Amino acid sequence: MSIRVVVVDDHPVFLIGMAALLDSLAGIEVVGRASDGDGAVAVVEEHRPDVVLMDLDLTAGGAAADPDGAGAGIEATRRITTSMPDTAVLVVTMLGDDDSLFAAIRAGARGYLLKGAAAPEVERAVRAVANGEMLLGPEVARRAATYLSGARTRGASVFPELTGREREVLELVALGYDNSTIARRLVLSSKTVRNYVYGIITKLHARDRSDLIVRAREAGLGEGGGG
């Protein structure tokens, strides 16, 4: 039985090319295409494919745009994986930064490739996520391992009373980001981030946010500088 695929990208040349590549592969069938988040959700609801190839940097607009500013591709991924968990989302994007990678995984993506991946790598990724596996491209996987290793050694050892999510929030607070920016990066609501920050201040007995930042930086968090 063929693996049924929907391709989502707002660049027509890439969309057509990727669809043609996948259709040329044995046992893979492209059943739909979309160029924005809302269209992606509608096509997936109609065809119920096994895999969605999702670009993250889609044209903003419509219901796919997250009110806290998350990308349309991230929001579409979240909507698809929440309402149709049997459909695997494989991200194929130009966005190779850590924020985009982890936001996509938090939204439910099972795979993450950078555009420019060779055809055999794309085919392998499609078959893997269709089979329930998690697959990251080689460069993405290397950077993810480095990021997670650093987060463990920096955060867990110095603030063991915090949960993993609280350490993620504290790392971004230490970098100087405000709640709205942290919400976008972690794909949370601003209210949720505000609650996390309050809880962290309480757990660490900090006087206020400024004191929290000082203590976090003294512990080695936020060493990369803020933005």
The mean pLDDT value of the chain amounts to 84
Gap between the Cα atoms of 85 and 92, Å rounded:
19
pLDDT-based confidence at residue 71 (cuts at 50, 70, 90): confident
pLDDT-based confidence at residue 67 (cuts at 50, 70, 90): very low
Domain ranges of the chain: 3-137, 151-218
**pTM for the model:** 0.63
151-218 matches 3-137 in CATH topology: no
Gap between the Cα atoms of 98 and 34, Å rounded:
26
Q: What is the pLDDT of residue 65?
A: 41
155-177 mean pLDDT: 82
Select from 98, 190, 202 the least CA-distant residue to 142.
Answer: 98
Query: What architecture (CATH level 2) is domain 3-137?
Result: 3-Layer(aba) Sandwich (3.40)
Residue position matching structure tokens 């099972």: 110
Do residues 66 and 29 touch, judged by C-beta distance below 8 A? no
**Helices in the chain by DSSP H: which ranges?**
12-23, 37-47, 72-83, 98-106, 119-130, 138-151, 157-158, 164-174, 179-186, 190-203, 209-218
pLDDT-based confidence at residue 70 (cuts at 50, 70, 90): very low
Q: Tell me: domain 151-218, CATH 3.30.450.70, correct?
A: no
